Structure 1
């Protein structure tokens, strides 16, 4: 992978993010989706066929990707651009199943890096609000583009382009996938995993703060948690059981209300 190819892929990692300079419609909802991202990487690296082979499964894999409570489980832009690039760089001569496996591994690495950078960029954007507030209080609307466009886009670009270049550079320097794995320090993997778990827990906490209107609602949450954790019931099974309970509760409550009116 040449320098120009690395720069182009890293640039699209930024362009495919939320709030990039091209807007969310072209960026996050188009360039940031797995299938278009795979096509872009395939065109840049000159192997569209391999890119499409891994792009379709990645599209299905991340089809249900959401950001509950504001927490990001995976960064799609990072995951798919890095994952597709990894499959093309290290998957020469492999069959489709092996290519998808390599793409999934590198998508996981890219997704974790993107998750960390996503929240890091949010933290860096906090002081910009104070800059915008000072301009607003002074009535200086002519300079509002500085915090809203210049500073915001600079932070977003650096938090995505630079880490992507580092990961892509490591992929280029490594001769095999195993060599690339040895280049990642253990403390980096530990930090990414720990931070990712913290953000998932934070997202769940924020989501519960919206859903739990009364303290006893937590009992319902704990029942679901117990069924999954200790009774090994699948999420679908819990969802079906919850739907049954909800319907029975609604019907019984409705019948009580009707009898009360009569």
Structure 2
């Protein structure tokens, strides 16, 4: 692996985690990370397969507040790199990327912990009226967050997939089992959180239909999405008819009043 490839992928990991928390260009998404790593290493298809597979694991998952979630962006970068370099294919890369993403939870927590010092420092500066310095403290928070991704990515690319595998193998089994269980629960938890913000009581029939299509008829995601879009259009047209009728009635009443005034 060339030094410039290691450098670009390392820099991408630092920018992507910053982007995920601030500018939100989408580079933190596993699919984009896999695409970038595949582009740098000359195998875009493998990168898209690895990244797309990992993206399925984070659908409906969000790190609300100060919570941490599996970092499959880093997993996609390293999974793609190891899949291409080893020649074992996208399946090997995706399998290796899952424990990497789970392991990165601990480093994410460490980065957030480091940022508490900067935040407390910023609060003290605000109380002292030093607002410009307080702004700098908040900007410095980018450093531990980005380094929490850049350092492990750099080390993993330097030492290879065997280094990562040794780290994973030497972790206590109870810890890895707990992380895997949490990783399996998180997608369901994320969807449940999303449902809390949706008008579920008025649209529970649509939820039941979608569950029936996916669980019993095994309809693919694209097929279920097309059916959902069709149902949404029907519901929208049905709800808009009374509003259109009311608008037409109001317009007719205004015309009648205008004619009476003319008389």
TM-score interval for Structure 1 and Structure 2 normalised by the shorter chain: 0.5 to 0.7
Whether the 8 Å CA contact 1:74–1:115 is kept in 2: the answer is yes
Post-superposition Cα deviations, 1:65-124, rounded to whole Å, max 9, x if no partner, equal 577563498645412331233235533xxxxxx433333333334344346644664566
1:140 positional shift: 0.9
Q: Residue 46 of structure 1 aligns with which residue?
A: none
Task: Answer yes or no: is the 8 Å Cα contact 1:116–1:196 preserved in 2.
Answer: no
Match of 2:45 in 1: 56
Return 5+ residue gaps in structure 2 as ranges. 250-263
Deviations 1:191-247 (A, max 9, x none): 3322323443443234333332x6333443243223322343332332222223223
Residue of structure 1 equivalent to 2:192: 205
Partner of 2:231: 245
Match of 2:261 in 1: none
Corresponding residue number in structure 2 for 1:156: 145
Q: How does 1:1-262 map to 2 (within 5 A)?
A: 8=7, 11-12=10-11, 14-19=13-18, 28=27, 33-38=33-38, 40=40, 51-53=41-43, 55-59=44-48, 62=51, 65=55, 68=60, 70-71=62-63, 75=71, 77-91=73-87, 98-114=88-104, 117-118=107-108, 121-122=111-112, 125=115, 128-145=118-135, 147-150=137-140, 152-164=141-153, 169=159, 171-173=161-163, 182-183=169-170, 185-212=172-199, 215-257=201-243
C-alpha change, 1:134 and 1:219, in structure 2 (3 Å) is: farther
| Larger Rg belongs to | 2
* Structure 1: unaligned runs, 5 residues or longer: 41-50, 92-97
Could you tell me how far apart the structure 2 residues matched to 1:207 and 1:124 are? 30
Q: Do the aligned residues in 1 keep the contact of 2:10 with 2:154 (CA within 8 Å)?
A: no
TM-score normalised to the size of structure 2? Answer: 0.63
Give the Cα separation in 2 of the matches to 1:124 and 1:200.
28
- Give the conservation status (yes or no) of the 8 Å contact 1:18–1:27: no
State the 1:147 CA deviation: 2.9
Separation in 2 of the partners of 1:188 and 1:167? 21
Kindly provide the CA deviation profile for residues 43-78 of structure 1, in whole angstroms up to 9, marking residues without a partner as x: xxxxxxxx212x333236536957756349864541
Separation of aligned partners in 2, 1:254 and 1:27: 34
Aligned length: 236
Name the CA distance, whole Å, in 2 between partners of 1:158 and 1:241: 44
3-state secondary structure, aligned to 1:139:
coil
Question: Do the aligned residues in 2 keep the contact of 1:34 with 1:76 (CA within 8 Å)?
Answer: no
Counterparts of 1:230 and 1:124 in 2: how far apart (Å)? 47
Q: TM-score, normalised by structure 1?
A: 0.63
Distance 1:122 1:200, change over 3 A: farther
Instruction: Report if the CA contact (8 A) 1:135-1:144 is conserved.
Output: yes
Task: Say if 1:115 and 1:196, in contact at 8 Å, map to a contact too.
Answer: no
